[in-house]
Amino acid sequence: MSITGPDEEREFLAAYRPEDYHPVAVTVDTVALTLRGGALSVLLIRRAMPPFAGFWALPGGFVRTDKTASGHLVEEDLDEAAMRELTEETGILADSHLEQLATYGDPTRDPRMRVITVAYLALVVDPPDPVSGGDAADAAWTPVAELNLATADAAAGAGARRGRPLAFDHARILADGLERARAKLEYTPLATAFLGPEFTIAELRAVYEAVWGRRVHPGNFHRKVLSVPGFVVETGQVTERGGPRGGRRAQLYRAGDARLLHPALLRPAGEGAEQ
Amino acid sequence: MSITGPDEEREFLAAYRPEDYHPVAVTVDTVALTLRGGALSVLLIRRAMPPFAGFWALPGGFVRTDKTASGHLVEEDLDEAAMRELTEETGILADSHLEQLATYGDPTRDPRMRVITVAYLALVVDPPDPVSGGDAADAAWTPVAELNLATADAAAGAGARRGRPLAFDHARILADGLERARAKLEYTPLATAFLGPEFTIAELRAVYEAVWGRRVHPGNFHRKVLSVPGFVVETGQVTERGGPRGGRRAQLYRAGDARLLHPALLRPAGEGAEQ
DNA sequence: GAAATAGTGTCTCTTAGACAGTATCAA
DNA sequence: TTGATACTGTCTAAGAGACACTATTTC
């Protein structure tokens, strides 16, 4: 019953015709987050083509698995596809952080055919305004607070921009991406991926406050960050000036080499965000 | 440039021919874990068909997206596909826990064609011996300790059973599944999914010890589990007998309704497991 | 009774969080 | 000088882990 010899295996592979099987497409969609004016913002595009033409959506598109005009077979990894689509549709580079989120495969999630999408979470440092391209009619950094995401059950079809919900199941993907970011701030140095190479403790605290949507005690936060080995390392430099309305000049830090935070910075246990 | 009207959208969808695009296949593979004789074990199958015929692998297979002989279009969600393939190939039911792990899409991971696989983690309570079926020539619960998984970098091609490495990139998927299980024991009540409806604190501790691969202090564990709200609830019953070589009879508990553990049961910080 | 297991008491060390105080800067 | 911001000191409560002790059961 089983085929075990190398010759049989070679024959089997030669006779295998991919196009006979499995009419399914694979896309990638990216939840790209950044801090703009202190507000946690997500990169959205307005779809130029059906389905959901005119709707806002996460940037993304089909993974390249097909032959090009030159007959060359394009084979890109999923991560590469996510970065390529992000740049094509918005001009934004996911240079600070990119990680896989989850895969969504509800058979009804795309009206065209069976499409499963691999979702990514990207963080971007101090990005420019996006420039729409490809299948995107528009692109914009959108404050997360402006989207009607009930913090608990955004899965239930919420996530609207200017009154219109997001395309496909993108509201749920966005909610999952936000939760991932919130959770990873607790036990990884992910917050530093929102910031440039040098930052102050107050800027780091601003990341936590924006992502968690709650105030963090400045004094305790300061002491705690410095007490976690490898989280940040002192540069010896201080900021050029104090705050705009007075205040001491702050030490500058760089991200350390810790990949996990011990001890972790736990979210306050209290309920929902305040915004 | 953009198509926004409902008529245009309908026309576009009617003209869309899925088979023109994207020769890619989607599979699901499951890391099914259980406790057998106190040892953390994973369900493996021996492949009957190329590629990797004769190799041990994770149970899994193609997601059904094609027309059957009757012309009926089978559309199953990814979770359903994972459960179906698990049962087809091994006879085992993933009835206790099933969650998505990650998706693996390296263009070279399958010699046939572009195959991306959505990996799942399943937990099974006190399972029978598997019965191989479908494309599986054999199936067996295999103690994780018997696989040569260097705890740190099993990704690098390790994960061998009886001298032979696992098929495809399944060693890496298995390593990711184990790490997911280990991490989730810390902050979720996942350990109860390894056990039947009623269990003792010692049985719960045995789960932690098997999955983490290290001894856990009985007294402190006991007090700590009871101190976490909603982790376990007392049944009022006790075990029929004490231990086989003496010992007090133990209280029986059921899983509580907590979905997160506050405070968490953190892994001891020390390096590598002991086994 | 001896050995094993269940469960509790208690001590020390560390951490979270509240609060207050000092240091330094802009206007 | 005032007010804002950076940073530090200190106190309290709670949790982690070590250790020891009591309770109950099997052999």
> Whose C1' is closest to the CA of A216: which nucleotide?
C17
At A154, is the pLDDT very low, low, confident or very high (cuts 50, 70, 90)? very low
Q: Tell me what pLDDT residue B21 has.
A: 55
Task: For residue A147, give the 3-state DSSP assignment.
Answer: coil
Residue A258 CB partners (closer than 8 Å, separation 6+): A189, A228, A229, A230, A231
Q: What is the mean pLDDT of chain B?
A: 88
| Percentage of chain B modeled with pLDDT above 90 | 73
Nucleotide C1 C1' to residue B120 CA (A): 53
Count CB-CB contacts under 10 A for residue A250.
18
At A86, is the pLDDT very low, low, confident or very high (cuts 50, 70, 90)? very high
Count CB-CB contacts under 10 A for residue A157.
12
At B187, is the pLDDT very low, low, confident or very high (cuts 50, 70, 90)? very high
Segment A131-148 shows an average pLDDT of 93
Q: Tell me what pLDDT residue A158 has.
A: 61
At A151, is the pLDDT very low, low, confident or very high (cuts 50, 70, 90)? very low
Q: Does position A37 have pLDDT exceeding 50, yes or no?
A: yes
β-bridge pairing B39-47 and B56-57: antiparallel
Greatest CA separation for chain B: 80
CA dihedral B134→B135→B140→B145, nearest 10 degrees, is: -140
Q: Which DSSP helix (H) or strand (E) runs through B44?
A: strand B39-47
Angstrom CA distances, A18 to B30, B38, B110, B112, stand at 23, 43, 12, 8
| Degrees, nearest 5: CA angle A10-A13-A18 | 170
pLDDT in tens, A70-85: 555 668 999 999 999 9
Strands (E), A22-135: 25-36, 39-47, 56-57, 60-62, 97-104, 115-123
The chain A residue lying nearest B103, using CA atoms, is A103
Q: Tell me what pLDDT residue B163 has.
A: 65
Q: Does position A183 have pLDDT exceeding 80, yes or no?
A: yes
At B155, is the pLDDT very low, low, confident or very high (cuts 50, 70, 90)? very low
Decide if A199 contacts A253 (C-beta within 8 A).
yes
Q: Does position A53 have pLDDT exceeding 80, yes or no?
A: yes
Report which of B125, B136, B110 is spatially closest to residue B199, judged by C-alpha positions. B125
Q: Does nucleic acid strand D have an atom less than 7 angstroms from the CB of A200?
A: yes
* Residue A126 burial (C-beta neighbours within 10 Å; 0-12, 13-18, 19+): exposed
Q: Tell me what pLDDT residue B152 has.
A: 43
Q: Tell me what pLDDT residue B9 has.
A: 58
CA dihedral B7→B8→B10→B11, nearest 10 degrees, is: 120
If one compares B246 and A65, the residue with the highest pLDDT of the two is B246
Hey, are the CB atoms on A77 and B23 less than 8 Å from each other?
Answer: no
Architecture of domain A13-180: Alpha-Beta Complex (3.90)
Position A88, amino acid:
E
Highest mean pLDDT among A60-69, A200-209, B10-19: A200-209
User: CA B165, CA B57: separation in Å to the nearest integer?
Assistant: 9
Q: Does position A177 have pLDDT exceeding 80, yes or no?
A: yes
β-bridge pairing A164-165 and A160-161: antiparallel
Q: Tell me what pLDDT residue B243 has.
A: 85
Hey, are the CB atoms on A137 and B1 less than 8 Å from each other?
Answer: yes
If one compares A114 and A2, the residue with the highest pLDDT of the two is A114
Segment A81-95 shows an average pLDDT of 97
The domain spans of chain A are 13-180, 188-255
Least confident of A45-49, A103-107, B195-199, B271-275: B271-275
Q: Does position B1 have pLDDT exceeding 80, yes or no?
A: no
The chain B residue lying nearest A267, using CA atoms, is B262
| Percentage of chain A modeled with pLDDT above 70 | 81
**How many CB pairs (< 8 A) connect A and B?**
149
Query: Which residue gives the smallest C-alpha to C1' distance to D15?
Result: B263
Decide if B13 contacts A111 (C-beta within 8 A).
yes
User: CA B221, CA B230: separation in Å to the nearest integer?
Assistant: 16
User: CA A54, CA A167: separation in Å to the nearest integer?
Assistant: 9
User: CA A28, CA A169: separation in Å to the nearest integer?
Assistant: 13
Where does B6-182 sit in CATH, by number?
A: 3.90.79.10
Q: Tell me what pLDDT residue B113 has.
A: 85
User: CA B163, CA B77: separation in Å to the nearest integer?
Assistant: 36
Under DSSP, the state recorded for B247 is: -
pLDDT in tens, B20-71: 555 789 999 999 999 999 999 999 999 999 899 999 999 999 998 765 556 5
Q: In angstroms, what separates the C-alpha of A245 from chain B's closest C-alpha? A: 40
Indicate the fold that domain B188-255 takes in CATH: Arc Repressor Mutant, subunit A (1.10.10)
**CA Rg, chain B, in Å?**
22
Position B223, amino acid:
R
User: CA B187, CA A62: separation in Å to the nearest integer?
Assistant: 36
If one compares A141 and A163, the residue with the highest pLDDT of the two is A141
Six-digit token string for B154: 């099993």
Q: Tell me what pLDDT residue B170 has.
A: 97
Strand C nucleotides with an atom less than 7 Å from a protein beta carbon = 2-10, 14-21, 23-27
Hey, are the CB atoms on A19 and B18 less than 8 Å from each other?
Answer: no
Q: Does position B19 have pLDDT exceeding 70, yes or no?
A: no
At A66, is the pLDDT very low, low, confident or very high (cuts 50, 70, 90)? low
Strand D nucleotides with an atom less than 7 Å from a protein beta carbon = 2-10, 14-21, 23-27
CA A2 distance to own-chain centroid: 44
Q: Tell me what pLDDT residue A155 has.
A: 45
Q: Tell me what pLDDT residue B274 has.
A: 41
Q: Hey, which residues does B185 pair with through a beta bridge?
A: none
Is the bond preceding B263 in cis, omega lying within 30 degrees of 0? yes
Region at A203 (left for phi over 0; alpha for psi -120 to 50; beta for the rest): alpha
pLDDT in tens, B214-256: 999 999 999 999 999 999 999 999 999 988 889 999 999 999 9
User: CA A27, CA B230: separation in Å to the nearest integer?
Assistant: 40
Place of tokens 């006879």: B91
If one compares A246 and B217, the residue with the highest pLDDT of the two is B217
The chain B residue lying nearest A138, using CA atoms, is B2
